[in-house]
Amino acid sequence: MPQGGAAGGTTPPGTVFAVRAFGPGLPVPGSDGELIVHSAELVVRVQGTTWRAPLRELALREAGFGGPGIELAWGKGEERRALQILDPARANALLAHPAILALPQYARLRRRQRRHGFGRGLGWTAVGVFLALPLLALVAFVLSADRLAGWVVGRLPTAVETKFGRASFDRMKPTLELRDSGPAFEAVSALGARLTAGSRYHYAFHVAKDATLNAYALPGGIVVVHTGLIAATKRPEELAGVLAHEVQHVELRHSTKSVVKELGLSALWAFVTGSYGDSLPARAAREMTGLKFSRDAETEADRQGFAALVKADIDPSGMPAFFATMEKTVGDAPAAFLSSHPLSGERKAALERERAAVGSRTFHALPGAAAWPPAP
């Protein structure tokens, strides 16, 4: 971002700025709004409502990959609100407003810009320095962005994944109708705890009221299951099969790698530095429910999930049985789960081989089968 205000002096008071607004009551991707900056407060009009915030409470930061835009944020926790302008010219015009120029936060922003300018100029060289293997990182990036993403993600501390996953889930919450109590949630939690015993991650399982047949895992160990998927299972072992599959996407870091590949270099940089602000989790939240994994990743999650079921003394036949049920019942409208986890012929064959390898071993029946599926 250029240092200083817009060309031609300061921006006249009363100027209306087009912004992207994020906050309570708005969809995860945000909504278009209008911003007017007054001498002591800002006023935002978005979706028929008006937000007001004292200028002294604002936090100013650069936004967008490479910092071409600006973000204004205020509030904490679920009441946090943020406005983004990613167009450099409009961002500079906002920063040239007299009321913004007079803020101590603006002076701090300018100091950060000067301090970070050198590091931003280095770009990916800084990533290499951070990892102590710059040449390998650059060569790997040139040869294969996928391999670079996997290489970096494989070296991330689990705390970084967990922090990012929780931030992304926080951005999802306003769009989810969570049912984190009752029989369905208790069943998911009990099965999840059994399948994740001894994991390096601290898992959090959630049930969302949604008729679609879907489940997904966020980096760091957050798993969300729709009530529609739970209702479609015929026995506890089928739900356990879905959970085992999703848990392995976390354990094998497929979710984190997919986020990096979906969101590109900005996500890779953010994961490496541990600094991603509010915008990246919001972008990740939009992608997370439909992340598409590679065929190899799906097969690996099946295989390891199958093994986890056996280790937990849960009949693993529930996994292929539920996949087969979905294929037969969804017809011309594929379930969200199968859309993002396509069941190829190779995966079917691999699951059949895994099931055959178990032989005639017996497993203890899971509780709750008599009243299955559990109520949300």
> What is the crossing angle of helices 254-263 and 158-172, to 10°?
70
According to DSSP, the residues that pair with 45 across neighbouring strands are: 34, 50
Whether 191 and 373 have beta carbons less than 8 Å apart is answered as no
More confident residue, 278 or 28: 28
Q: What are phi and psi of 199, to 5 degrees?
A: -70, 155
Q: What is the pLDDT confidence band of residue 8, given thresholds at 50, 70 and 90?
A: very low
pLDDT of residue 337 exceeding 80:
no
Query: What pLDDT is stored for residue 142 in this prediction?
Result: 43
- The predicted model gives 27-34 an average pLDDT of 85
Quote the pLDDT of residue 294: 73
Specify the pLDDT at position 40. 92
80-95: pLDDT as tens digits: 899 999 888 888 899 8
- Assess whether pLDDT exceeds 60 at residue 96: yes
The DSSP element (H or E) to which 268 belongs, if any, is helix 265-273
Residue with tokens 């904490």, as numbered in its chain: 76
Kindly state the tokens that stand for 151.
Answer: 């290489």
Pull the structure tokens for residue 117: 């300018």
Quickly list DSSP for 129-187: HHHT-HHHHHHHHHH-HHHHHHHHHTTS-HHHHHHHHHHHHHHHGGG--B--SSHHHHH
Model pLDDT, residue 55: 92
Residue tagged 């979710």 (tokens): 255
pLDDT given at position 5:
43
For residue 114, count other CB atoms closer than 10 A to its CB. Answer: 10
Among candidate residues 333, 337, 353, 169, the one with its CA nearest the CA of residue 238: 337
Between 294 and 184, name the one with better pLDDT: 184
Report yes or no: 223 and 204 within 8 Å, Cβ to Cβ: yes
pLDDT tens digits along 107-162: 888 887 776 555 454 444 444 445 445 445 544 444 455 666 666 667 678 888 88
Q: Give dist(CA 224, CA 335) in Å, integer.
A: 16
In this structure, of 64-73, 100-109, 363-372, the range with the lowest mean pLDDT score is 64-73
- Which one is predicted more confidently, 33 or 148? 33
Res 332: pLDDT = 46
C-alpha torsion sign, points 280, 282, 285, 291: negative
Could you report the per-residue pLDDT of 279-300, keeping only the tens digit for each? 555 555 555 555 667 778 888 8
- What whole-number distance in Å separates Cα of residue 106 and Cα of residue 10? 14
pLDDT at residue 188 is higher than 80: yes
Contacts of 267 (CB under 8 A, 6+ apart): 259, 260, 276, 280, 284
Split at pLDDT 50, 70, 90, the class of 41 is very high
pLDDT at 183 over 90: yes
Pairing, β 16-22 against β 69-74: unpaired
**153 in Cβ contact with 165 (< 8 Å):** no
Q: How far apart are CA 63 and CA 281, in angstroms?
A: 13
